[in-house]
Amino acid sequence: MSDAVTEPIPHCDLLAGVNPLRAEILAAVARVVDSGWYILGREVEQFEREFAEFHGAGSAVGVANGTDALCLALRACGLQPGDAVVTVSHTAVATVAAIEQGGFVPVLADIEPQRYTMCPDSLLQTLHSAASVGLRVRAVVPVHLYGQPADLAAILDIAERHGLKVVEDCSQAHGALWQGRMVGTLGDAAAWSLYPTKNLAALGDGGIVLCSSPETAERLRMLRQYGWKRRNWSECAGVNSRLDELQAAILRQRLRRLEDDNRWRASVAANYLQSLGHLKICPWVAKDCRHVWHQFVISLKNRKNLIEFLDGKRISSMIHYPAPVHLQPAYLGRLHFPGDLPHTVRAAERVLSLPLFPGISEAQTDRVIQAVLQFHAQAADS
């Protein structure tokens, strides 16, 4: 057996995404080191400006991480402790943690079974259920999951009719489009994580918020640094959540390559879809969106068997996410949601993410495809 066949295929290879920009990243790091300014300086200001320009709208504010980005975005939109926020349970736990971090009350809606994002009908049901128990819902956080936008037309309409703020969680959808518009530009604010595995990734932690109004952006700049409007003068109760100069300098380089990286992801996803589509396990893609393929997520009953089969072929896979937030020990029995979120529970039992990252080779992708086909052929014969 050749080395090419036995070489492990990671689910995500961070170095493969960094290597094409190695010289530019090292030059950016040197530029920051030589500047003598390491917190909230020129690099952060330039990254914020370039990020807003990339999206064609809004004012951007860099923060320490994606969890802070979502929490501070809600605070900057005027929410007060005790206000309720509707989001989903099929998401990274950070979404719910960010809501609680701000002193808000998470309320959960179910997802659409094909899209894996917030179901508008369930959102309506959740609003009525929350009102019936006296919860004051003030905002909705749709999560654009796996790289595909949520059904924003319906969600924005419901939010407008109920007087709700909309803060988009874009942490898995850097560069995604909904009806030709960038996600993150359609609500009152939007939050992104810049964690190393993201489509736009720091070499460490980072986050950024895009605000629809200059006033919201100004409030957020105060909130991220102790509530200061001017140094050592707190206008409001803020926190310490600052994107550092090193990460901002690196992110400026990676932002310039984001569209190319997303095209690479889309090419790999197209290969998976063409080769595996007949198995009826592949993700559904909305026609009104540009999916940016943060993850390529298949769905199948015998997931555990496929994971073990892929492991035997030295192919890594991951589950996003193995347990809904509302069923995890920290949240069990204390979050409000109507019904039992059946589509959320079903997704957690069936989803599996195949290897996909900028730099994954055609040979590696073909190995994954052949392994999945072989598994299904054997399962059909048994």
Tell me how far apart the alpha carbons of residues 161 and 153 are, in angstroms, rounded to a whole number. 13
For 255, how many CA atoms within 13 A lie in the half-sphere containing its CB? 19
Residues 9 and 318: beta-carbon distance below 8 Å: no
What CATH class does 1-382 carry? alpha beta
Report pLDDT for 1.
Answer: 47
- How far apart CA 311 and CA 317 sit, in angstroms, is 8
Contacts (Cβ under 8 Å, ≥6 apart) of 65: 193, 194, 195, 205, 206, 207, 241
What element of type H or E holds 280? none
Q: What is the distance between the alpha carbons of residues 224 and 245, in angstroms, rounded to a whole number?
A: 15
pLDDT of res. 75: 99
* pLDDT score at 2: 52
Cα separation, 95 vs 101, whole angstroms: 10
Residue-wise pLDDT tens digits, 65-110: 999 999 999 999 999 999 999 999 999 999 999 999 999 999 999 9
Angle formed at CA 46 by CA 50 and CA 48, multiple of 5 degrees: 60
Neighbours of 40 (CB within 10 A): 17
Distance CA 131, CA 135 (A): 5
Distance (Å, whole) CA 168 – CA 255? 20
pLDDT at 381: 72
CB 28 within 8 A of CB 251: no
Domain boundaries, the chain: 1-382
Q: What is the pLDDT of residue 6?
A: 81
Please give the Cα distance from 225 to 231 (Å, whole number).
Answer: 9
Residue 300: which residues within 8 A CB-CB, separation 6 or more? 281, 306, 350, 352
Say if residues 228 and 39 touch (Cβ distance below 8 Å): no
| Model pLDDT, residue 5 | 63
How far is Cα 356 from Cα 348, in angstroms, rounded to an integer? 20
Strands (E), 25-132: 59-63, 84-88, 105-109
**Those residues with Cβ within 8 angstroms of residue 121's Cβ, 6 or more apart along the chain or in another chain:** none
| pLDDT tens per residue across all 382 residues of the chain | 455 568 999 999 999 999 999 999 999 999 999 999 999 999 999 999 999 999 999 899 999 999 999 999 999 999 999 999 999 999 999 999 999 999 999 999 999 999 999 999 999 999 999 999 999 999 999 999 999 999 999 999 999 999 999 999 999 999 999 999 999 999 999 999 999 999 999 999 999 999 999 999 999 999 999 999 999 999 999 999 999 999 999 999 999 999 999 999 999 999 999 999 999 999 999 998 999 999 999 999 999 999 999 999 999 999 999 999 999 999 999 999 999 999 999 999 999 999 999 999 999 999 999 999 999 999 877 6
- Residue-level pLDDT at 119: 99
Integer CA distances (angstroms), 104 to 84, 272, 378, in order: 6, 40, 50
Nearest by Cα to 309 from 267, 277, 352, 348: 352
Token pair in block for residue 341? 């979120």
Which pLDDT score is estimated for 188? 98
Structure tokens at 345: 């529970």
